[in-house]
Structure 1
Amino acid sequence: MPLVVSDIPRAWRCRIVPHIRRFLHLSPSPGAWLQGTLTTAPMAASLLLITVFADTHPGAMALFGSLISLWNTNQSLRSRLRRYAAVAPIFPASMALGVWVGPIPWLAISTEALVIFLMAVGYHVFFVGPGPGPIHLFYACAVGTYLGGSTDIGWPIVAVTAVSTALTAVLSLSDLLVRGHHAERKAVAAARAAVHAFLHAAAEEGESRAHHEQRIRRLRTAATAAVDHAASVLGSARSPRARPGPVRHQLGQELHRLDGLLGAGALTRDCPGATAQVGSAPHPGPLGQPSARYLLRRTFGRDPVRLPVLVGLRCACAGLAAGTLALVLHVGHAYWAVLSATIVLHGGLDRNSTVLRAAHRLAGTVAGVLVVSAVEPLQPPAAVHISIIIVSVWGMNLFLPRNYALAASFITVMTLQANIAITSVDATPHLVGQRLLATLIGVAAALVVLVCTGRRMPRRTTQRLLIRTLRATTEVLDHAAAGTSFTEDGWKARRDLRFELLACADLLPRLGADDRNLGQCQDLVDGVQQQAHAALAAGWHAEPDQLDTATRSEEIRSLLDRLPGQRTSAHTPTRGRRIRGNVR
């Protein structure tokens, strides 16, 4: 008798159905078609050019160097040039390292694990904002270990990767010749929409006060993030000492105005009747991303947020375990197991999202293997192989932000086609079987490492994030009370507080998903975020002497006392004293 949905107990349906919906969910991604096409175009052009001037076999392997096109999309010309100059040498260099150690399997696996750890930690420390993840920084090393250990074309492919990386980087800049200041205009437009959404909502009266305040806080955080992102885009578009051109000057002035409107609107809500110092204040504008030194100290200094180290250790341990098991089981492409493990973990997501990513990886691999198994018996010509790779690249870029299972299916077709190009069609059944086994080993290793590590990290990281936010809050309040909010140091203090506030908004939901007990601290988190927003608003106060620093100090001390294991000073500063003495 066939099983129907109604036969499943209701309790089980309530548990299973949400997971199925998450698995099948297509995340909204406005403009994904255009962005996917713009990213794919230089990759496809590089692939075709190298195929024409070299051969189909090395041309297909040019795919790995062309992945640099995924870096720094929607950024200015200068920002892309600087990022490409930093990242492009890593691709051929890491592949050369892999080719060099490839003939010694155990040394190859150990080297991969070390490279994975260093690249994952470095990426998550210094790369702020959405990006492709650290996978591309060590992907070439893993591929190189296979080329050096199992083929005799390792060094020619290193040369092809170097040419492909440079060529794709140059071609990726070509769209800026047509679209000019598109990245800067788009960022300022997003900031304008976010600030106006906050101001419009702040002027409304909500039907439920608690719900309305929560919505206002969310919109204020979104507006702060949008202004900071626009500041980073504009700031990276020119040298700090260079004078901006007319377009960037106009966009900078508008961003300054939007930042002032955001500050004045926030001050009006927090301090009714207060006057905001906007038009008359010296206004160098928001300073965007903190310095590299600040980011480094944030991970390894006082009250460190060690999530980058945890992600790096997880990726390295899972890659080492998966690679070792693949070698023991004589899987010909052991690097596939290593990459499958690290691809699941490299994003630093919460446990539920990581398990979902593992399921997507398995499902996408199976789907991709089925496609390749259906196509290869037809023995398509070389031109069709390259065409399939290009279509797969476009599918990957289109679906990566929407559903990873669909993206993984295109990734599987893409990588198998590249491998078939340097082996033979006759090896396809064996290659397909190895791909499935290696993926299964990698995903299993990733899940085991995920379960066994980082149990205490959510609570510790939450505590340190809140402490860092409160410390940055006191810095801003000190400048506001001293009337130095509009000095260079005052702007930098606001920049650092904005960064910590946005880091809380990004990381705390993930940490809460890993430790349900953190839900009991939600009122504490709300209090810290409210104090941070109030401090940012106080920085715009035209009359600093009217700030009630004693009350703010008491509120911050109260929040600190509620953090386990924290000490506060014995005294309560009165007006005129520095609030920073309250945070040790």
Structure 2
Amino acid sequence: MSLSESTRSFQESFAPKLRSFIKQFFLLVPHAPGIAKAQLVSGVVSSLTLIVAVIAFGPTLGPTALFGSMIAQWEADRPFLARIRCALLIGGIMTVTMGIGVLIAPYHAAIVPIVVVLILIMTTSYYSFVLTRGPGPLNLFYATAIGSYLGQFSDIGLQTTYITGYAAAFAGALTLVALLPNMHGPEERAVQNAEQEVEAFCLHSHANLSLHERSARRHTAYAAVNRGWLTLRAAGNGILGCQAKHINRMLASNRALSLQITTNAYPHIRPEEVGTSTPALRGRPTLFWLFQNNFHKNSVAWFTAFRVGLAAAISGGLTQFLNLGHPYWAILTSTLILHRWIGRLATTTRALHRGVGTLLGLGVVSGVLSLQPGRWGIIAAIVVCILVQNLLVLRNYALGIVFVTPMALLSIEAAGQTGWSLERLMTDRIDETLVGITVAILVTWTTTLRKPREMMRAQFQRTLQAIEHLLRFIAQDLASSPEAIHARVVLQYELLTTLAVLTQAAEDDPELHPWHDVEVAMADLGYATLAACWLNQPSHLVSALPTLRKVTALRKKELFATEKDTHIQCIAQHVVAINRTLSEPVMGFAQERP
């Protein structure tokens, strides 16, 4: 084959792959229902906050209100009272952390250690206690990194802290105003979602589905009902609280879900023997329990915090060693990439999105400034960037970053606060973005490689222990005691967490996919145990004590702690057999008491 033919052949095979890669790289993912509107409202709130700040503090300092205005992204679809609590808590944290950054700015050697400590605390706390999930932990610590830079300029550092507090309060108030025309919209959407998922689960319970599909539908329905109750509880009572119609609809969905799960687990149980006291009505685990469950080495919270903290320490240390002008850019780049656990390949793609989006965004900055727009023209450009990035960032991260970059650069630097030349700004942005991206990818692929597997195994062990704990109460006729009710909540939490942990762990380590069979078997046993608590006389209707003995024996074998995966199917079959024991009727209602 001639050289020209080889070149042509290579081009013909490579060009389609390159086009496909570029298409996928910039593919716009559809918004979930209601998300586009919520993102637009968030963008409008941030824009109005910025405009008012510019009017109040001038076009030089006013743009720094952008950081506090990001509180609009928190609790975006939560009830009115929950938003008030969120605005006060998160706004206070953002203001305090900005102040900490400003205070430590003169102490160069202390900046990175203090920022890393805050990252560890905030990230672990976020993934431990925020069960409904906001935009991620970044907003809880990023102000410290920014403040450590702005604090170097004595004429703007302290003022920036005040402006952050104003922006958080103003944006928080605007989000409440935006909710007034449809104050009970969050509750309505949560209840409607629960109704739809429960209806779908009930309709497909008798369909010809695989065990995995049945389990996934049950998980989705249960999670929707759980989220619905969390939303109604967050709405509170009184004039501003949730409405009676929403409570009644949730009760109906709750009843339908409990009946269907019980029917699937115990075919011999009659509907009139099923009560209404389901775990979804019992709220969330206590703060102390969540602390114990998440502040340890095998939790998702600590795993995520460790990676984010390590990346921040390395990127911050490198920028200081290289004497780059804006070290917080490298810190925020690496933490933005890693602040969510999304799997190693997905994290690498996110890093590439960040790099490409930043380069394109710098082109936008050059284009805007080449027009010599003046201070108010820059403010207008920032507002456009806020609105566009809010609509794009969840659909395609790279395209969103195209507008995040000029938004950040123009609001802090190009407005003329710190005296840097445009060329220096562009160079620093590129250099520190590359540092952050490189560090994030290296941390992703060279550290904690075995940790997803360890977390998955630890989660299975905790779920089995939660099943055992609740079975003990059932066997002792104490299924309705306060301690047993908390045990139900704990088991509910563990069941909802197990699938999430295994799914993410399998993205990091594809060899873990076979463990989904164990997860399905464990979920069947867990939901059957919960369903036993919904019965009017569980110890008379299900074989709790024999099941308890078998679960205890299984847990003591520590099958989930072994490093070998050769007996995965055996473990799954063992759990299935235990579940069959639980579903057996108690002959003559005679059962030995423990």
Give the TM-score of the pair, scaled to structure 2.
0.87
Report the counterpart of residue 587 of structure 2 in structure 1.
Answer: none
Deviations 1:522-560 (A, max 9, x none): 322222122112222223334421202255346635754
CA distance in 2, matches of 1:447, 1:195: 40
Q: What's the CA shift for 1:496?
A: 1.9
Q: What's the CA shift for 1:484?
A: 4.5
CA distance in 2, matches of 1:88, 1:370: 33
Report the counterpart of residue 218 of structure 2 in structure 1.
Answer: 220
- Corresponding pairs, count: 565
Report the counterpart of residue 585 of structure 2 in structure 1.
Answer: none
CA distance in 2, matches of 1:328, 1:350: 30
One-letter identity of the residue aligned with 2:317: T
Report the counterpart of residue 90 of structure 2 in structure 1.
Answer: 87
314, 318, 329: which is aligned to 2:307?
Answer: 314
CA distance in 2, matches of 1:85, 1:424: 31
Q: What's the CA shift for 1:297?
A: 0.9
Report the counterpart of residue 462 of structure 1 in structure 2.
Answer: 456
Q: Does 1:391 find its partner at 2:393? A: no
8 A contact 1:99–1:145 mirrored in 2: yes
Give the 5 Å matches for 1:285-434.
286-300=281-295, 305-418=298-411, 419-423=413-417, 427-434=421-428
8 A contact 1:148–1:154 mirrored in 2: yes
One-letter identity of the residue aligned with 1:236: A
CA distance in 2, matches of 1:321, 1:277: 61
541, 548, 560: which is aligned to 1:563?
Answer: 560
Report the secondary structure of 1:89's partner residue. helix
Q: Does 1:191 find its partner at 2:194? A: yes
Report the counterpart of residue 28 of structure 1 in structure 2.
Answer: 30
Report the secondary structure of 1:286's partner residue. helix
When the two chains are superposed, the root-mean-square deviation of aligned CA atoms in Å is 3.1
8 A contact 2:215–2:520 mirrored in 1: no
Relative to 1, partners in 2 of residues 1:356 and 1:129: Cα closer, same or farther, differing over 3 Å?
farther
Deviations 1:303-332 (A, max 9, x none): x64222222222222112112211222211
Identity over the aligned pairs, expressed in percent?
Answer: 27
Report the counterpart of residue 113 of structure 1 in structure 2.
Answer: 116
506, 517, 534: which is aligned to 2:528?
Answer: 534
Q: Which runs of 5+ in 2 are unaligned?
A: 564-573, 575-580, 583-589
Deviations 1:244-274 (A, max 9, x none): 8895222112212211110101111222131
Relative to 1, partners in 2 of residues 1:128 and 1:6: Cα closer, same or farther, differing over 3 Å?
farther
Report the secondary structure of 1:200's partner residue. helix
CA distance in 1, matches of 2:277, 2:502: 35
Q: Does 1:499 find its partner at 2:493? A: yes
Report the secondary structure of 1:402's partner residue. coil
Report the counterpart of residue 581 of structure 1 in structure 2.
Answer: none
Q: Does 1:157 find its partner at 2:142? A: no
Report the secondary structure of 1:261's partner residue. helix
Q: What's the CA shift for 1:148?
A: 1.4
197, 201, 205: which is aligned to 2:204?
Answer: 201
Deviations 1:454-503 (A, max 9, x none): 12212221111111112222334344445554554444332222211111
Report the counterpart of residue 45 of structure 1 in structure 2.
Answer: 48
Report the counterpart of residue 582 of structure 1 in structure 2.
Answer: none
Give the 5 Å matches for 1:243-322.
248-277=243-272, 281=276, 286-300=281-295, 305-322=298-315
Give the TM-score of the pair, scaled to structure 1.
0.89
CA distance in 2, matches of 1:380, 1:474: 67
Q: What's the CA shift for 1:72?
A: 0.7
CA distance in 2, matches of 1:485, 1:526: 24
Q: Which runs of 5+ in 1 are unaligned?
A: 579-584
Report the counterpart of residue 129 of structure 1 in structure 2.
Answer: 132
CA distance in 2, matches of 1:19, 1:275: 56
8 A contact 1:350–1:513 mirrored in 2: yes
Deviations 1:367-426 (A, max 9, x none): 111111122111112222112212212222222322211222221111011121134898
8 A contact 2:355–2:433 mirrored in 1: yes
Q: What's the CA shift for 1:111?
A: 1.9
Q: What's the CA shift for 1:190?
A: 0.4
